A and B are shown apart, each in its own frame.
Chain A
């Protein structure tokens, strides 16, 4: 286990360095931030001053070297646009994004897995078919369209929910969260549902397929023959065995929800970090882009690590770090 963790850490550091270099190169290739930042009326002196102030007058490789040496000391640079440390800008926004992502995932899991089980156990009944038809809608409707329809119905027509923004927050372990206040929940409901819809459908389909496969297995037949109650057969024997692919997918999807909740965030003006990334790319705010992607890659690495650990818990045959294959 320890060896596994250490090896993972080494690989992760390598990934982070390579990724930061590629992003650096990419932003450099897109364009010159000074073009977008400096006022068009500015003369040559002012342009030169701004270029020097942001360190953009030096060769690309030198800029990258400076970045690396500062990053090693925990300084990821200051935003060109906001003149605050990039990492601070991201960490201010990240709790909102994490909250939205977790709310969406909880919604998707709490609704998706039970519905998927039902659809898998009773595939030919009307209820099983309705669930499957619903999941097709969830898959195929574009996120931004569903978001706008939600706003039109629940905010504009019915006036039940606020159309944008994040509600009142309270501190939980030093992190501002909004799901503990009524106002916060009202603001959270629509964007979380919007974001959950696709994952929900995915989980329904995945759970149904695995369930249908599992109920035909001998161990399920045996459990039934033994006279176990249906609840126990489904809850313990079926569910536990179908969870491995589901946990993998949840892990992957959680990462993508955190990193790329951009459409939902901009439609609902949710003050998260996805919106920050898009704005930063449009402005070529390189320090923020690099820092953001570093944070996201770190989160992905952490999630994957947790998923691998969960495998070994769920399935005793999986052993971490077992190079026993040869």
Chain B
């Protein structure tokens, strides 16, 4: 009897498992955390879109898992002089509809970019520096810029190329319906259902070689528990952004594997320095206004940085999925300084510095932060407040949903703001300029400097660095600028987020710093 049962069980197992396997061997499903808002690659400059559309379309310059620039549709590029860039294009590349890729497609694409109707976040920022384009031959193209623009290859890495015929006629709706979704990438679009799923199939003629998957389905699973349940039940083979609460469970289960990597996103604090005299939500401990804005004093900023225990936040709140930060990017990225180390936790030193600055009794303030934008953002704000009480500062916490928070933070309505920043370009120079240069949006300086920190010496350094064409020299200059701003505590870096992917047994993911979830990085495990 027992033997018969065993035999029946074995038969059942045979009947189900291999059949299911054989059928699905070259098919894979992936659970994503955020909606893809459009298939039009020039409609919405948004990380989830850019990540997904990289399967279908390609830019001239691609990035490896550490965001280093690698050849994409261009095989090489160089600056001929301070104002001219030359790109050599890849030969023998065909679009999904069979038309060959040439310089004409590049020109037509860049012409379309600033003219996408209703675009809520345009890619024009990347093509705008180009004032003149010349096709030298079908596989050589030169761009002239009005001012030296060293970031051009990096910028063009964000713009995906479409065929000329598509660039000239297609509307956003045509991409979403699939009609115009024609790229050179390793996968073709099969179906796009907003807020629900995107289905891709392999492009067997891909210039970069064959992919391990015939069909890839991306499912939008915004709820973190639902995403984990989908992985556990075998409905998907990989998920992105494993919630910190489930990391322990998945890493102890041998049927699943985790892949993680420190990301390009830094969590940091901006201190309101809009006004010399007053600052919102900061008062003396008895509630009376202070005589002047304490955040204008570098010693106060430094003290506020020293009073934070970054290791404790990374270990306990982030479950080790964060790395204490010293600048805007982890120190293996271009333009980061190895001389900068995360500020050591020193509450007594902080007290001393505050006393020196004229606040022997500290002061009172409210810490503001979002509560649904970054990993554990509200808990981070709470923890910071507790550390401050040990340094003699009365800190209260108010966290807000991101749709309310960012509008008010941009208007300078908060004193102490917890924020986050991802560097998609993979080099520190442009981020330093956006977050720390003196606010002058017309010149592209300090566009996201919500604290209004201002340091003339740093402004000069970063501006000069970003027009220096020599890569080595520029890197040293950016490092120097970073040191200037960080030693002056222009902002308070907290940590770099670590992104985590969960895969089922038999699959392996090459984790990336840009938080992109790519089927091209998912391989059957050997």
When the two chains form their complex, are residues A44 and B226 in contact, meaning their CB atoms are under 8 A apart? no
Instruction: Assess whether A155 is in contact with B122, with CB atoms less than 8 Å apart.
Output: no
Instruction: Check if A301 is an interface residue, CB within 8 A of chain B.
Output: no
Say whether A31 contacts B403, CB under 8 Å.
yes
Tell me whether A37 and B120 are in contact in the complex, defined as CB-CB below 8 angstroms, given that A155-B229, A156-B229, A282-B403 are known contacts: yes
Q: Give Cα distance in the complex from A264 to B111, angstroms.
A: 45
A58–B220 alpha-carbon span in the complex (Å): 34
Q: How far is the CB of B333 from chain A (nearest CB, A)?
A: 16
User: Is A89's beta carbon under 8 Å from chain B?
Assistant: yes
Closest to B36 in A: A82
A30 pairs with B404, CB closer than 8 A: yes
How near does chain B come to A261, taking the closest CB pair, in angstroms?
14
- Interface flag for B233 (CB, 8 Å): yes
Decide if A35 is an interface residue (CB 8 Å cutoff). yes
Q: Given A163-B226, A271-B195, do A39 and B125 touch, yes or no (CB 8 Å)?
A: yes
Rounded to whole angstroms, the CA-CA distance of A45 and B447 in the bound complex is: 11
Asked if A282 and B402 sit within 8 Å, CB to CB, the answer is: yes
Give chain B residues whose Cβ lies under 8 Å from the Cβ of A80: 120
The proximity string for A residues 259-301 relative to B, scoring 1 for CB distances below 8 Å and 0 otherwise, is: 0000000111101000110010111100000000000000000
Separation of A269 and B195 alpha carbons in the complex (Å):
9
Given A50-B120, A81-B120, A162-B235, do A41 and B448 touch, yes or no (CB 8 Å)?
yes
Q: Are A148 and B225 in contact (CB under 8 A)?
A: yes
- Which residue of chain A has the shortest Cβ distance to B372 in the bound complex? A282
A18 at the interface (CB under 8 A from B): no
Chain B residue contacts of A33, Cβ below 8 A: 120
Q: Closest CB-CB distance, B16 to chain A, in whole Å?
A: 10
Residue of B nearest to A34 (CB): B120
| Nearest CB in chain A: distance from B35 CB, A | 6
Q: Select from chain A the residue with minimum beta-carbon distance to B425.
A: A41
Contact between chains at B125 and A36 (CB < 8 Å): no
Q: A50 to B37, Cβ gap below 8 A? A: no
Asked, given contacts A31-B406, A163-B229, A282-B402, whether A50 binds B121 with beta carbons under 8 Å apart, the answer is yes
Q: Pick the contact of A163 from B117, B195, B235, B430 — CB < 8 Å?
A: B235
Q: Which of A84, A152, A267 contacts B223 (CB 8 A)?
A: A267
With A36-B406, A148-B229, A164-B229 known as contacts, the answer to whether A271 contacts B448 (CB < 8 A) is no
The chain B residue sitting closest to A81, CB to CB, is B37
Contact partner of B441 among A36, A43, A144, A148, CB < 8 A? Answer: A43
A92 to B424, CA, bound (A): 33
Are B448 and A40 interface neighbours, CB within 8 A? Answer: yes
Identify which of residues 11-61 in chain A touch chain B, using a CB-to-CB cut-off of 8 Å.
Answer: 30-47, 49-50, 53-54
Contact B120 A38 (CB under 8 A): yes
Instruction: From the candidates A30, A46, A92, name the one contacting B403 in the complex (CB within 8 A).
Output: A30
Instruction: Using A43-B441, A83-B38, A84-B173 as known contacts, say yes or no to A89 and B226 having CB atoms under 8 A apart.
Output: no
Question: Does B196 interact with chain A (Cβ within 8 Å)?
Answer: yes
Is A93 part of the contact surface with B, judged by Cβ < 8 Å? Answer: yes
A165 within 8 A of B: yes
B407 at the binding interface (Cβ < 8 Å): yes
B230 within 8 A of A: yes
| A159 CB within 8 Å of chain B | yes
B118 near A83: Cβ-Cβ < 8 Å: yes
Inter-chain contact A279/B125, CB cutoff 8 Å: no
Fill in one digit per residue for B138-176: 1 if any A CB lies within 8 Å of its CB, else 0: 000000000000000000000000000000000011001
Which residues of B, 74-132, contact A by the 8 Å Cβ criterion? 117-122, 124-125
Most buried by A among B38, B196, B229, B424: B229
Residue A188 lies at the interface, judged by CB distance under 8 Å to chain B:
no
Task: Report chain B residues within 8 Å CB of A279.
Answer: 35, 195, 222
B193 located at the interface, meaning its Cβ lies under 8 Å from any Cβ of chain A in the complex: yes
Residue contact A282 to B401, C-beta cutoff 8 Å: yes
B219 and A269 contact, CB distance less than 8 A: yes
Contact yes or no, B233 A89, CB < 8 A: no
Cβ-based interface call for B221 (8 A): yes
Q: Which residues of B sit under 8 angstroms from A53, Cβ to Cβ? A: 117-120
Closest A residue to B411 by beta carbon equals A32
Bound Cα distance A34, B121 (Å): 8
Q: Which of A86-138 contact B (CB under 8 A)?
A: 89, 92-93
1/0 contact trace for B37-67 toward A, CB 8 Å?
1101001111000000000000000000000
Partner of A41, one of B35, B38, B219, B430: B430
> Which residues does chain A contribute within 8 Å of B220, judged by CB atoms?
269
Contact A83 B43 (CB under 8 A): yes
Contacts of B196 in A (CB 8 A): 165, 271
Tell yes or no: A151 within 8 A of B by CB.
yes
Which residues B211-243 have CB closer than 8 A to chain A? Answer: 219-223, 225-226, 229-230, 232-235
A208 touches B (CB below 8 Å)? no
Docked CA distance A144–B117 (Å): 40
User: By the criterion CB–CB under 8 Å, are A41 and B406 in contact?
Assistant: no
Measured CB to CB, the nearest residue on chain A to B225 is A148
CA distance A305 to B210 in the complex (A): 60
When distances are taken between beta carbons in the complex, the residues of chain B under 8 Å from A37 are 44, 120-121
B358 in the interface (beta carbon within 8 A): no
In the complex, the chain A residue whose C-beta lies closest to that of B419 is: A40
Assuming the contacts A42-B447, A155-B233, asked whether A54 and B404 have C-beta atoms less than 8 A apart, the reply is no
Q: Inside 8 A of B223's CB, which chain A residues have their CB?
A: 266-267, 269
A78–B43 alpha-carbon span in the complex (Å): 14
Per-residue B-contact encoding for A296-326, CB less than 8 Å = 1, 0 else:
0000000000000000000000000000000
Minimum CB distance partner of A31 in chain B:
B407
Please, what's the 1-or-0 string for B454-466, where 1 marks a CB less than 8 Å from any CB in chain A?
0000000000000
Instruction: With CB as the reference atom, state the residue of chain B lying closest to A32.
Output: B407
B interface, CB within 8 angstroms of A: 35, 37-38, 40, 43-46, 117-122, 124-125, 172-173, 176, 193-197, 219-223, 225-226, 229-230, 232-235, 372, 401-408, 410, 421, 424, 430, 434, 441-442, 444, 447-448
A-B contacts, 25 of them at CB < 8 A, read A31-B407, A31-B408, A33-B120, A39-B46, A42-B121, A42-B122, A50-B119, A50-B120, A50-B122, A53-B117, A83-B117, A84-B176, A152-B232, A159-B233, A163-B226, A163-B229, A163-B233, A164-B219, A164-B226, A164-B235, A165-B196, A267-B226, A271-B196, A276-B195, A283-B403
Q: Besides A31-B404, A50-B120, 19 other CB < 8 A contacts?
A: A30-B403, A34-B120, A35-B407, A39-B46, A40-B421, A41-B434, A80-B120, A81-B44, A82-B37, A83-B117, A89-B194, A152-B232, A155-B232, A155-B233, A266-B226, A269-B230, A271-B196, A276-B195, A279-B35
- Sorted nearest first, the 4 A-B pairs with minimum C-beta distance are A44-B441, A31-B407, A37-B120, A155-B233
